[in-house]
Amino acid sequence: MKLSIVIPVFDERNTIAEVVHRVRQVDAGMEKELLIVDDGSSDGTQDVLKTMDHPEVRIFFHKKNMGKGAALQTGFSNAGGDIVLIQDADLEYDPTDYPTLLAPILDGRADAVYGSRFLGGPHRVLFFWHYVGNKLLTLLCNMFSNLNLSDMETCYKVIKRDYLDRITLKSKRFGFEPEVTIKLAKLKAKIYEVPISYSGRDYSEGKKIGWKDGIAAIFHILRFKFFK
């Protein structure tokens, strides 16, 4: 068994080296590879990445910013693992949660696992309206996918490679989250949720997702439910 960890990066000069260090240090119980996709960073992130020289790390560069979904598609197309895990390039999500995320797949219960920020794990207290927005988007996605997720928008999604290969992804930005969820539901994949820790950051610390992405997510939920 091999784990492919895909890390989309955009302007994360201050955190990317530490994220890679933490991912490399964690014991996932299997061979792992890291696929870092720089999505047109202009803040010096690329300079940091070019100094990395680890045999299990591969780095890809987009010439211009194309969006998180596009970066993930590049990573997925180059991944060689039996299981694919998505890791953000900031420090909001903790790689020490990997064993918890992988367990339902490794013991045969799940085809995909979502790490939920709302199932009781430790988390930094931050924005009320972000919480409300997340819950509303998750509710809407659940209505159209007939799932009962608590956190559709989570970064931590772990998917068996054979299911990921059956999905043709279209979203270039944050629409990836509802798209992959609805398409996994259409494939009748067995999806589990597990609690994770979450150290959210505010906009002064580099947070990028905003209300426009929330509006776009509503469009993508309807798009991928009713159109191929």
Whichever domain contains 211, its CATH number is: 3.90.550.10
Range 151-158 average pLDDT: 95
- pLDDT at res. 178: 92
Residue 55 lies in domain: 2-226
Predicted confidence (pLDDT) per residue in 31-68, tens digit? 999 999 999 999 999 999 999 999 999 999 999 999 99
Count of structural domains within the chain:
1
CA–CA distance, 158 with 102 (Å, rounded to integer): 7
Predicted confidence (pLDDT) per residue in 159-192, tens digit? 999 999 999 999 888 789 999 999 999 999 999 9
- pLDDT at res. 171: 87
Would you state the structure tokens that stand for residue 184, as one six-digit string? 């996994």
Predicted confidence (pLDDT) per residue in 97-152, tens digit? 999 999 999 999 999 999 999 887 666 656 676 778 788 999 999 999 999 999 99
Of all residues in the chain, the percent with pLDDT exceeding 90 is 74
Neighbours of 185 (CB within 10 A): 20
DSSP codes, 155-216: S-EEEEHHHHTT-----SSTTHHHHHHHHHHHTT--EEEEE--B----GGGT----HHHHHH
In Å, what is the CA distance from 24 to each residue of 9, 62, 94? 17, 23, 12
> Average per-residue pLDDT in the chain?
90
pTM for the model stands at 0.88
Q: What's the gap between Cα 144 and its chain centre?
A: 21
Backbone angles phi, psi at 61, to 5 degrees: -125, 125
- pLDDT at res. 127: 63
